[in-house]
Structure formats: C-alpha cells, structure tokens
C-alpha cells in the first residue's frame, strides 16, 4: 500500500506536466536494429549464470476488452519457456489502475515488465518504481515519453499505418470532402498514426478535418462522438478511426443515422475489422501483428536475462487489408 500511495503522489506531479509527443516516425531499418544495451545495463539485469527459465513476466496492456491487447498477451505466452509464468491483470483503460497493478508486479518481484501504456506520460511513476526495484521494463505497442526508463521499445510502424489508412481514405473520397478524426491522443502510438494521416493530407488540400475528439479506443465513446460529428456536419464523408474498436463505433453511428457514402478506415487488423470489410462497412484496416509484438518482447527479455546485447527499438511493419485481399487474411487474424 505504501508503494501505491507513493506512485499515486508521483502521478499527480507527472500529470501536471505538459503533454510531450514521442514517436517512431521515419526511424528506418538502422534505428530499428540499433543496439543500445550497455555493460552496466547488462550487469544490472542479467540473472545468475545467464539462466532464462522459471521467469515471471509481468504484462500490463491497456485493457483485456480488446482482441489486440489479448493477442499481445497470447504472443508473450507463446514465446516463454515451459516453466515460466505470466502475470497480466486488466487495468480497464484506467492509468491509475495500471500504475497500481505494476506496483503489485514489483511487489511480487516479477523478472520483467512489458507495458502497453494507457498514458505515455502518466505511466512514468510506475517506470521509476520498476527501475528503483531493478526490474527491467520493455515498452510494447506504444512508446513512453520517458524512454530512458525502459530497456527497449517494440512497436508497429504507426506513422506508416496512418499513411496507409489515410491515403486509402483520401482516394476513396475522390480527393475532396470533410473528415471526422476519432482520436486517442493521450497515447504516443496514436499520435504517430494521426501524424501519418496528416502527412498524407498535405497532398489533398481539398480534404479537411472538421471534427476531432478522443474516444479512448472505446466502441461506445466512438459511437457517441461519431453521432455528434454527423449531427454537427451532415456533409462529412470520411471517418479516420485510430483503431478497430473505434471504427466499430463509427460504423454503428453511421448505420444508426441511416447514412450512406461515408468511408471509414482504421488501424489494427482484427477479425472484427475483416468482418466489417467483408460487409462493406469498412474501407480498410492497416494491420498490425500484436502476437509478434508480444513474442518479440520475450526475445528481448531473454537477452536481458542472459546479459546479451539487444535492440533498443524494434519496429514491426504494417499490412493494408481491404476488400481486394481480405480473403487472404480471413480467419487468421486476432
């Protein structure tokens, strides 16, 4: 309890600071393969005799109510040893709960913590506490602002995902029209996605964003925001949804309003998104591989345990799934 109180106090100080962006934009292959583990890092985190079995992996994703994050956990489970364990509580999209649960992991003396931060800035107190306890942290799916507090970061190429989805949307709209952007800008990887979209918009000066609000990746909040957007401007013909659950909320709102001719794009590549594509409700999804993210995190952790060098950043490529190729991926996604 003392640790949780301390973390709560640290959170208040951290959240008072201004939001600062961080992102994996055009980092390129060299950056993705950059090795930054120092001898000091290896000394602090290597287990006795390089032993890598019988470890406990703490995994803190944003929510278990999203197949993407569940797939990240599944990726971890698929890569660990037969004697290893996974501790993966559900913070339910609440940053303070996520911090408290990481505090529980620290108290339980897990060997490593993988964190998909609900708030890239606000997670700092938990990262500081883990560092003070000598427990290595690997950021997965989204970067943290204080990157010096994590050993490695494993993310999709989120900027490219934004470009892919954004270009598909702009082309479908014929190069002109109004767009609603259903956001989640508290998260660094989402900021990268919207940066990629806005980069594409520079080539389409006749397309403008007329509505932009955060739905926090929630189907319900996205539906509410999309309804508000369509009521406020009935001429909207494009929706940029930052992930598949957000897209599902937008699709529900469009159907509820009886609207036609509104294009929706998203990012994730879940089976739910593929079903929406097959139904003609979703134009495309820029697909990630959460299982690969989770499995790669385990590979990094095992190198940390063994005192070996490891990549400070790994970027997983993106694949566009649309009506033309959805059959290739149907039933194979998370």
Same domain, 119 and 262: no
Same domain, 145 and 189: no
Same domain, 168 and 92: no
Tell me how crowded residue 89 is: count the other CB atoms within 10 A of its CB: 17
Please tell me the predicted confidence (pLDDT) of residue 6: 39
Opening angle at CA 44, ends 28 and 294, nearest 5: 45
Same domain, 151 and 220: no
pTM above 0.75, yes or no: yes
Same domain, 229 and 130: no
Contacts of 263 (CB under 8 A, 6+ apart): 169, 172, 173, 237, 238, 239, 283
Which residue range(s) make up the domain with 40? Answer: 2-155+290-315
Contacts of 251 (CB under 8 A, 6+ apart): 264, 276, 281, 282
> Where does residue 288 fall: left (phi above 0), alpha (psi -120 to 50 degrees), or beta otherwise?
beta
Per-position pLDDT tens, the chain of length 334 = 434 433 443 333 333 333 333 333 333 333 333 333 333 344 334 333 444 569 999 999 999 999 999 999 999 999 999 999 999 999 999 999 999 999 999 999 999 999 999 999 999 999 999 999 999 999 999 999 999 999 999 999 999 999 999 999 999 999 999 999 999 999 999 999 999 999 999 999 999 999 999 999 999 999 999 999 999 999 999 999 999 999 999 999 999 999 999 999 999 999 999 999 999 999 999 999 999 999 999 999 999 999 999 999 999 999 999 999 999 999 999 9
Paired tokens of 53: 């079995």
Please tell me the predicted confidence (pLDDT) of residue 108: 99
Same domain, 85 and 49: yes
In a domain, 334, yes or no: no
In a domain, 296, yes or no: yes
Same domain, 12 and 98: yes
In what side-by-side order are the strands of the sheet with 85-87? 85-87, 56-60, 112-115, 137-140, 152-156, 313-316
Please tell me the predicted confidence (pLDDT) of residue 21: 31
Q: How many domains does the chain have?
A: 2
Q: Residue 239 maps to which CATH number?
A: 3.40.50.2300
Contacts of 310 (CB under 8 A, 6+ apart): 35, 37, 151, 152, 300, 303, 304
Same domain, 119 and 176: no
> Where does residue 283 fall: left (phi above 0), alpha (psi -120 to 50 degrees), or beta otherwise?
alpha
Please tell me the predicted confidence (pLDDT) of residue 168: 99
């Amino acid at each position: 309890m003392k640790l949780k109180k301390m973390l709560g106090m640290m959170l208040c100080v951290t959240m008072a600071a201004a939001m600062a962006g961080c992102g994996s934009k055009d980092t390129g292959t060299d950056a993705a393969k950059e090795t930054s583990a120092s001898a000091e890092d290896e000394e602090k985190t290597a287990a006795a005799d390089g032993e890598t079995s019988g470890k406990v992996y703490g995994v803190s994703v944003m929510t278990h109510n999203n197949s993407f994050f569940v797939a990240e956990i599944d990726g971890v489970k698929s890569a660990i040893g037969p004697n290893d364990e996974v501790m993966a509580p559900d913070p339910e999209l609440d940053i303070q709960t996520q911090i408290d649960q990481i505090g529980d992991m620290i108290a339980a003396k897990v060997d490593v913590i993988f964190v998909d931060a609900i708030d890239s800035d606000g997670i700092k107190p938990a990262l500081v506490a883990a560092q003070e306890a000598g427990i290595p942290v690997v950021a997965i799916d989204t970067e943290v602002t204080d990157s010096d507090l994590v050993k490695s970061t494993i993310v999709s190429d989120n900027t490219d995902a934004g470009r892919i989805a954004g270009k598909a949307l702009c082309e479908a709209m014929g190069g002109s029209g109004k767009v609603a952007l259903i956001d989640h800008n508290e998260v660094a990887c989402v900021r990268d996605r919207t940066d990629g979209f806005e980069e594409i918009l520079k080539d389409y000066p006749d397309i403008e964003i007329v509505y932009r609000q955060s739905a926090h990746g929630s189907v319900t909040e996205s539906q509410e925001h999309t309804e508000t957007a369509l009521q406020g401007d009935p001429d909207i013909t494009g929706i940029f949804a930052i992930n598949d659950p957000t897209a599902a909320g937008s699709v529900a709102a469009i159907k509820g309003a009886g609207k036609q001719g509104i294009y929706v794009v998203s990012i994730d590549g879940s089976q739910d998104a593929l079903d929406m594509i097959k139904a003609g409700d979703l134009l495309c999804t820029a697909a990630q591989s959460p299982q690969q993210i989770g499995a790669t995190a385990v590979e990094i952790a095992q190198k940390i345990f063994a005192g070996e060098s490891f990549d400070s950043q790994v970027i997983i490529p993106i694949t566009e799934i649309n009506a033309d190729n959805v059959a290739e991926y149907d039933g194979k996604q998370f």
